[in-house]
């Protein structure tokens, strides 16, 4: 029996009725049309072993050394650095969008390496580009990400933009894994959500990024199936801007290290908030508007 984790504040076991298992697309990797039909059907592509384990492992070490040097005791004294054991008396270090670490050659070898670029150029059947901003995350025990579409954070450019989530190390479900609401991208029961929340922009509209805090309440009301898997170093999961996702709670005593990056065809327009040496990110908001909470936004959306 696997240890339980949480979706939001609700305890779930894995695999179970409310948290099923993602399928990989490795048997389709040679076929552009096969990958596209799978993406249309599932809203995601899980690839096992896209990247070399040793190279991922080296990047992990580099990230942890950076955290060690730049944070205040983020890791428990007298533990192995590579295990990233959380120190409740320490202070976290910022890694998200920090190019000193996201653009370290060891890390870029994964995030902009040949394997990932080749995959996207094969998928788009044309040259691709990635954002300079990279969401490198160190997630402490007890934490998870709320349910959301990525479109609300980065939807100003290409409609073909895709997210690629890359775990830096083995991440079993109880360490906090990317979790997809399969069906959210195409079921008609979600069309109102896609047409309202899915068309918002957190900076322009001051609307909430997360679609509430309770992932299971979404599937209970609108359908679809929450699914995740145990990830190993080298695996990645790719999904659309309108695929609802969240993460399971990190139940371990270690930091969970991952990075999410974006890819699109090079010739498409790009969301400029995420481009350059010093991207503006979410720093420019429409100040004439007041921030709207989820409860109020839902009423406006008629959901
Ligand atoms: O890493 C997480 O927990 C959330 C990641 C995410 O939202 C994404 O990859 O778009
Ligand atoms: Fe996301």
Kindly report the three-state secondary structure assignment for every residue of the chain: CCCCEEECCEEECCCCCCCEECCECHHHCCCHHHHHHHHHHHCEEEECCCCCHHHHHHHHHHHHHHHHHHCECCECCCCCHHHCEECCCCECCCCCCCHHHHCCHHHHHHHCCHHHHHHHHHHHCCCEEECCCCEEEEECCCCCCCCECCHHHHCCCCCCCEEEEEECCCECHHHCCEEEEECCCCCHHHHHHHHCHHHCCHHHHCCCCCCCCCHHHHHHHHCCEEEECCECCCCEEEEECCCCEEECCCCCCECEEEEEEEEEECCCCCCHHHCCCCCCCCCCCCCCCCCCCHHHHHHHHCC
d(CA 154, CA 273): 8
With respect to residue 76, please indicate whether it lies within any of the assigned structural domains. Answer: no
User: What are the backbone angles phi and psi of residue 96, rounded to the nearest 5°?
Assistant: -65, 120
- Is the Cα torsion angle 191, 196, 197, 198 positive or negative in sign? positive
pLDDT of residue 1: 61
d(CA 181, CA 244): 5
**Residue 140 Cβ contacting ligand 1 at under 6 Å:** no
Q: Which protein residue's CA is at the shortest distance from atom 8 of ligand 1?
A: 260
Measured from the Cα of 176, ligand 1's closest atom is 3
Cα(180) to ligand 1 centroid in Å equals 10
With respect to residue 69, please indicate whether it lies within any of the assigned structural domains. Answer: no
Of the residues 5, 22, 45, 137, which should be mutated to test ligand 1's pocket, given the most ligand atoms within 8 Å of the CB? 137
How many structural domains are present in the chain?
A: 1
Cα(229) to ligand 2 centroid in Å equals 17
Cα(150) to ligand 2 centroid in Å equals 5
Among 3, 74, 66, 18, which residue's Cα sits nearest to residue 255?
74
Domain that holds residue 207: 9-54+138-269+280-301
With respect to residue 235, please indicate whether it lies within any of the assigned structural domains. Answer: yes
Per-residue pLDDT of the chain (303 residues; tens, 9 = 90+): 677 999 999 999 999 999 999 999 999 999 999 999 999 999 999 999 999 999 999 999 999 999 999 999 999 999 999 999 999 999 999 999 999 999 999 999 999 999 999 999 999 999 999 999 999 999 999 999 999 999 999 999 999 999 999 999 999 999 999 999 999 999 999 999 999 999 999 999 999 999 999 999 999 999 999 999 999 999 999 999 999 999 999 999 999 999 999 999 999 999 999 999 999 999 988 888 899 999 999 999 999
**Residue 137 Cβ contacting ligand 1 at under 6 Å:** yes
Cα(148) to ligand 1 centroid in Å equals 9
With respect to residue 147, please indicate whether it lies within any of the assigned structural domains. Answer: yes
The model's pTM: 0.98
Would you say how long the chain is, in residues?
303
CATH number of the domain where residue 172 is located: 2.60.120.620
Cα(149) to ligand 2 centroid in Å equals 6
Cα(237) to ligand 2 centroid in Å equals 12
pLDDT of residue 94: 97
- Is the Cα torsion angle 249, 209, 71, 236 positive or negative in sign? positive
With respect to residue 74, please indicate whether it lies within any of the assigned structural domains. Answer: no
Of the residues 6, 8, 141, 163, which should be mutated to test ligand 1's pocket, given the most ligand atoms within 8 Å of the CB? 163
**Residue 150 Cβ contacting ligand 1 at under 6 Å:** yes
With respect to residue 202, please indicate whether it lies within any of the assigned structural domains. Answer: yes
pLDDT of residue 107: 99
pLDDT tens-digit readout, 82-120: 999 999 999 999 999 999 999 999 999 999 999 999 999
With respect to residue 30, please indicate whether it lies within any of the assigned structural domains. Answer: yes
CB 239 within 8 A of CB 133: no
What value does the mean pLDDT of the chain take? Answer: 97
Measured from the Cα of 247, ligand 1's closest atom is 3
Measured from the Cα of 165, ligand 1's closest atom is 9
Measured from the Cα of 148, ligand 1's closest atom is 7
pLDDT of residue 287: 83
pLDDT of residue 267: 98
With respect to residue 60, please indicate whether it lies within any of the assigned structural domains. Answer: no
């Amino acid at each position: 029996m696997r240890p339980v984790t949480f979706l939001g504040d609700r305890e779930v076991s894995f695999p179970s009725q409310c948290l099923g298992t993602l399928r990989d697309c490795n048997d389709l990797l040679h076929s552009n049309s096969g990958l596209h039909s799978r993406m249309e059907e599932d809203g995601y592509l899980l690839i096992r072993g896209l990247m070399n384990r040793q190279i991922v492992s080296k990047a992990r070490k580099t990230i942890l050394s950076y955290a060690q040097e730049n944070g205040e005791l983020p890791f428990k004294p007298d533990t192995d650095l590579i295990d990233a054991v959380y120190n409740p008396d320490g202070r976290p270090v910022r890694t998200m969008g920090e190019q000193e670490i996201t653009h370290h050659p060891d890390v870029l070898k994964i995030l902009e390496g040949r394997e990932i670029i080749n995959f996207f150029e094969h998928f788009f059947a044309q040259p691709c580009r990635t954002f300079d901003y990279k969401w490198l995350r160190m997630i402490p025990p007890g934490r998870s990400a709320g349910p959301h579409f990525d479109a609300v954070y980065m939807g100003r450019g290409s409609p073909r933009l895709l997210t690629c989530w890359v775990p830096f190390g083995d991440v079993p479900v109880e360490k906090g894994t990317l979790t997809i609401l399969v069906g959210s991208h195409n079921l008609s029961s979600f069309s109102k959500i896609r047409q309202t929340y899915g068309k918002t922009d957190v900076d322009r509209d001051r609307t909430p990024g997360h679609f509430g805090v309770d992932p299971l309440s979404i599937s209970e009301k609108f359908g679809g199936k929450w699914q995740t898997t145990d990830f190993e170093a080298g695996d990645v999961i790719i999904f659309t801007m309108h695929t609802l996702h969240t993460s399971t709670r990190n139940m371990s005593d270690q930091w969970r290290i991952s990075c999410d990056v974006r890819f699109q065809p090079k010739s498409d327009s790009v969301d400029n908030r995420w481009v350059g040496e010093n991207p503006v990110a979410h720093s420019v908001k429409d100040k004439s508007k007041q921030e709207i909470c989820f409860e109020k936004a839902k009423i406006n959306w008629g959901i």
